A and B are shown apart, each in its own frame.
Chain A
Amino acid sequence: MRILLISSSYNGLCQRAHVELDGLGHDISITLALSPDDVRRAVALFQPDLIICPFLKEKIPEDVWSRHLCIIVHPGIKGDRGPSSLDWAIMNGEGEWGVTALAAVEEMDAGDIWATATFEMRPGSKASIYRREVTRAATRAIVETVERVESRSFVPEPLDYSQPDVRGQLRPVMKQVDRKIDWEVDKVETILRKVHAGDSAPGVLDTINGEEYYLFGIHEEGRLRGWQPGAIIAHRHGAICRAAIDGAVWITHLKKKNIEKSPFYKRLLGRQKQLDFKLPATMVLRDALGDIPESPIDPLYMEDGKTFKEIWYEEQNQVGYLHFDFHNGAMGTEQCRRLLDAYRLAVQRPCKVLVLMGGTDFWSNGVHLNIIEASDNPPNESWRNINAIDDVVREIITTENKLTISSVWGGAGAGGAMALLAADRVWVREGVIFNPHYKTMGLYGSEYWTYLLPKRVGPVKALELTETPLPLGMKKAKAIGYIDEILPDAFAEYMAQLRQKAEALAASPDYERLLDGKREHRQRDEKARPLSAYRAAELQHMKMNFAGKFYGGEVNYHEARYNFVHKIRPKETAAYLAKHMRLDMARFNELRQPLAY
């Protein structure tokens, strides 16, 4: 079928829908809902058999939904309606939630139901649940809907609140007054729910030292305590710990309220840096933190108490698991340096296999664009960050005393999607999407990608993957050799299979032979072209991205980064997504607008 995806942004769910439907052989084009006319033009040009809206905040024009079947993917159970579905589900502590695929009609979320899928809720932020449970359920619902439309015999179910399985209801938009934390009254459990429900957007508005900030990234603290609820009692790795009436919580990120957004060019001339985007809390508060003490933890943290930790390690049956769960998968300079320290310690541990677990939502997305944007000298911070991440990748590539596995549960993009190739094996959850390209950020890229990627997929595919900034699904990734194994999509099975396979590798009678083979392979590669030469050549390109001074500097990266950090929507749907625009491959190289991932 010809399927048009209409989406507010090309986010993770839209990418997953794109990859899945494309994999099923459908002809897919995508338009961002930038204006009603954009939508109309896309429909007129593409003449779709079906329109699916995986993530849509805007209204579809009536002349579109009245003439074409438009399926809205709503992140709520049957009968749930309204723009704050998941927020309410988290806030109300729902045990089960779901996704409903329904036809667009005049009334919001009130159309006929084509498919529905449910999932068990878990404690976690809205973004995390959206990326995992919602995306998985939505993919099921989308595929089922497409099959039902194709069958031509399926009759969708009208919304009928008298039916016993219609448990949802129309809910209003959740406002800040609903989210507000009362530090004198709210217990830790309530504070966790409130922050989770607004994370990653819009955040919970709160006051710290007389200034208003949105709060993000909450973690329960098990040991530290303070007398005054709401007071900051410690800081660690960019996060702040605040006392509650029955414990304490860590807040990792803050965003300052009410700063006027300015376009790139004006900011350029204005010279006034406005930190109106999400940043590590201590970076936002800076001097206001005063003499709040740091609460340090081991670089290779092995305890399992409740606290905020980005890097931790566990070990079982000769297999070590190194977790590095950085917010949104972004790895700043200091985070990379801590990861390098932790990696070096993990390598010294008496285990045979080291599994690089990444984080719960992302394995890694490469350098930390928000920290770079906030720094006094972004080109300098970019340079520090890329060198720091390169150091980590080099350490993984040159590990000789054990076998390494990148085990990817969350997504990976840009440098992160290249860095995971540094391990000897790459095992990935079935529903993961990679974005193995730098182009949308105006960068050439480093992380030894010029060594790692062609080695796995060959030069032709390497060029295709990096030049055309499209998401990569795991079936294709395995087929082209990007990854070695696909692991199950559900968390429990994923973990069970990962452990079983990693332990089997550690206990394999072939282990020593495999390790010898790895060393010989590395030596051969080093002889053919030293690792340092790959890095040097990549950094020569990045130099131009960061700090060209002979004819000027590459501005694309700085502009793309600004737009990304400030969530500035592109002016038009990128040519490589909007098949209906009939643009040729040559234009893939001419992108200057980043996507709003």
Chain B
Amino acid sequence: MFFKHWPVLLVDDEPDVLTISRLAMKHFDVYGLPLKIYTAASKAEAIDLMNDNVEVGCSLAVAFLDVVMETDTAGLELCDYIRNDMGNKLTQIFIRTGQPGLAPEREVIDKYDINGYFSKVEATEDKLYSLVKSSVRQYLSYGMALATIDLSNNLMAAGASRRKILYALSPVGIISPEQADTPRWLIVDDQVLFSDEVDADEAVRLLEQFRNQDGIPLDPAGDRYVRNEDGYQLIQVARTPARSEAMFLFKSPFSPPDIVINLMHSFVKQLGIAWHHSKEED
């Protein structure tokens, strides 16, 4: 939810293919965000780039890999490196080959954990557009789902300890330096969490604004999603006898799709329940 662009990696040993692909993708956007295109001319160069650049190493949304580069199977080995050596199951990987005979589609799909296969002849601008768009959507949904599960596990492990809950929430409730322009707050029972480390007054001001604004109902208990025109968004979970009121207020450069809103809603609901059952001091 806090991406500023979608990192895409193109690996091909033909400079023309890289240039043309880069040009074709230059104006693509997904959820209103541009792509940030990284290129490498070989498997080795791509690996160096992944080890050298945290965005390519950690947050790559999509990768298009040529097969035949320094060896006949360099691209496939690179796919294996991304999936197994990097442990990255999230990036959407497409194999793009100029010599399908050397890497037949069925064989490649069966053997490698890829998301698609196409020949360079098929690689029209429209084809790239549809692949990029659908794969970024997939990447975001899948990534949010994994991150939600991770948070849920941490909340569950925190048990009834409020201190532990706060520790589990710190990656969400406190902004990291490079994300200062996408602030976010967690508010439980009218209390801004981590208030000495975030701008709590700003959260109170925004909540006041959101109070009378219409939102999208998320469930019959009164939970809702609200977004204002400045990009600030609120997932609000209403108080019930079984849970505290919990809110996730954040600024994101784009409007999330329904599935992402639902995932965030489930996290905030879980926070409301965990908080309700926790104690100040353990």
A590 and B51 within 8 A (CB): no
**Which residues of chain A have C-beta atoms less than 8 A from B282's C-beta?**
584, 586
B167 touches A589 (CB 8 A): yes
User: Is A187 engaged at the interface, CB distance under 8 Å to the other chain?
Assistant: no
B144 within 8 A of A: yes
A533 engages B1 (CB within 8 Å): no
A552 with B172, Cβ < 8 A, contacts A268-B180, A271-B180, A539-B87 known: yes
Q: Which residue of A lies closest to B194 (CB)?
A: A555
Question: Does the CB pair B164–A532 fall under 8 Å?
Answer: no
Is A377's CB within 8 Å of the partner chain B?
yes
Residue on B with the closest CB to A542? B58
Q: Which of B143, B164, B178 contacts A586 (CB 8 A)?
A: B164
B55 at the interface (CB under 8 A from A): yes
B85 at the interface (CB under 8 A from A): yes
- Asked if B147 contacts A551 (CB within 8 A), the reply is yes
| B71 in the interface (beta carbon within 8 A) | no
B87 touches A547 (CB 8 A): no
A380-B54, A587-B163 known; A548+B84 contact, CB < 8 A: no
Min C-beta distance of A267 to chain B, whole Å = 8
Query: A-facing mask of B149-182, CB < 8 A → 1, else 0?
Result: 0010000000001011011001111111111100
- Asked if B208 lies at the interface with its beta carbon under 8 angstroms from chain A, I say no
Expressed in whole angstroms, the Cα–Cα distance for A238 and B51 within the complex equals 23
For A552, give its contact among B57, B88, B143, B176 (CB under 8 Å). B176
B176 and A553 within 8 A (CB): yes
Contact, CB under 8 Å: B171 / A554: yes
Known contacts A268-B180, A550-B144, A554-B176, A383 near B58 by CB under 8 Å: yes
Taking A379-B54, A589-B167 as contacts, is the C-beta distance between A553 and B143 under 8 angstroms?
Answer: no
A383 lies within 8 A of B171 (CB): no
What's the nearest-Cβ distance from chain B to residue A36, in Å? 24
Which parts of A265-286 form the interface with B (CB within 8 Å)? Answer: 265, 267-269, 271
Query: For B143, what are the chain A residues with a Cβ–Cβ distance below 8 Å?
Result: 550
- Is B31 at the interface (CB under 8 A from chain A)? no
Q: Are A553 and B87 in contact (CB under 8 A)?
A: no
Known interface pairs A271-B180, A537-B87, A555-B174; A380-B1 also in contact (CB < 8 Å): no
**In the bound complex, how far is the Cα of B179 from the Cα of A555, in angstroms?**
10
Q: Is A544 an interface residue (CB 8 A)?
A: yes
**Would A535 and B85 count as touching, CB distance under 8 A?**
yes
Measured between beta carbons, the chain A residues less than 8 angstroms from B55 are 380, 547
A429 lies within 8 A of chain B by Cβ: no
| CB of B112 within 8 Å of the partner chain | no
Chain B: residues with Cβ within 8 Å of the partner, total of 42
A588 to B182, CA, bound (A): 31
| Interface contact A382-B54, CB-CB below 8 Å | yes
| B53 engages A551 (CB within 8 Å) | no
If A536-B84, A539-B86, A555-B171 touch, does A586 touch B54 (CB 8 Å cutoff)? no
Residues A26-78 near B (CB distance < 8 A): none
Contact (Cβ within 8 A) A555 B170:
yes
Cβ of A101 to closest chain B Cβ, rounded Å: 39
Q: Does B269 contact A (CB under 8 A)?
A: no
Which of the residues A271, A383, A537, A550 comes within 8 Å of B54, measured between beta carbons?
A: A383
Q: Does B107 contact A (CB under 8 A)?
A: no
The answer to whether B53 and A383 touch across the interface, beta carbons within 8 angstroms, is yes
| Interface residue A549 (Cβ < 8 Å from any Cβ of B) | yes
CB distance from B186 to the nearest CB of A (A): 10
Contact B171 A377 (CB under 8 A): no
Across the interface, which residues of A come within 8 angstroms of B146, CB to CB? 550
A265 to B173, CA, bound (A): 14
| Chain A residue nearest to B157 in the complex (CB) | A589
Residues of A near B178 (CB, < 8 A) are: 377, 379, 553
Q: A548 touches which one: B87, B147, B184 (CB < 8 A)? A: B147
Some 22 contacts from A to B, beta carbons below 8 A apart, are: A267-B177, A379-B178, A383-B53, A383-B57, A387-B51, A387-B57, A530-B84, A532-B85, A535-B85, A535-B87, A536-B88, A537-B87, A547-B59, A548-B147, A550-B144, A551-B148, A552-B1, A552-B172, A552-B173, A552-B175, A552-B179, A586-B161
| Apart from A548-B147, A555-B174, 12 more pairs, CB < 8 Å | A379-B176, A383-B54, A387-B57, A530-B84, A546-B54, A549-B59, A551-B144, A551-B172, A552-B175, A553-B171, A555-B175, A586-B161
> Which 4 A-B pairs have CB atoms at the shortest separation, nearest pair first?
A536-B87, A383-B54, A553-B176, A550-B147
- B interface residues (Cβ-Cβ under 8 A, vs A): 1-3, 51-55, 57-59, 84-88, 143-144, 146-148, 151, 161, 163-164, 166-167, 170-180, 184, 197, 267, 282
